[in-house]
Amino acid sequence: MRILDMSHLTILVADPNPYMTKIIRAMLRGFGITRIREASDGAAALEEFKTQSIDIAIFDYALTTLDGIELTELLRADEHSPHRFVPIIMLSAYTEKKRVEASRDAGITEFLRKPLCARDLYLRLVEVIENPREFVQSNHYFGPDRRRSKNNAAYKGPDRRQEFAKIG
């Protein structure tokens, strides 16, 4: 496994469970990340975005005040926010298809199930750093391109999404 220098990153961890936050913080420190911001609910996480420069966000789906979906939608919807394009990794112990799709449709970058292991978290971080997704905008969505295929530009079939405009 390739080792990345992530020491320059500032990561926001938003999770209502202080023990989970402690575990994630320990994992991040193990990856060489020392600039870690924490929030116990969605409103506190939103305040962190107002006062800090965040490189990557890790949100729990079940945040209070604003859940992970609502927080993601707020960040993606603000056209003047410097954090509109921040990679968001959504965590959840509940991985039913509807939750994963709702997270994706809100504009998250990656989804990670709980309980999590250091390897999976590291791989998601590497993915958002080394393979940043283009952002797209339509009438009903703004966020990372939900399609993972690198060769989709040549596709001309009936499922081609004409309404999307590439951003950034």
Question: Cα angle vertex 4, ends 88, 136, to 5°?
Answer: 30
Q: What b-and-e string marks burial along 126-149, b requiring 16 or more CB atoms within 10 Å of the CB?
A: bbbeeeebebbbeeebbbbbeeee
pLDDT at 3: 83
Mean pLDDT of the chain: 90
Please state whether the predicted TM-score (pTM) of the whole model is above 0.75: yes
pLDDT in tens, 40-55: 999 999 999 999 999 9
The length of the chain is 168
Domain range summary for the chain, segments of one domain joined by +: 10-134
The CATH number of 10-134 is: 3.40.50.2300
CB 57 within 8 A of CB 14: yes
pLDDT at 153: 59
Q: Are 42 and 70 in contact (CB under 8 A)?
A: yes
CA-closest candidate to residue 137, choices 102, 168, 158: 168
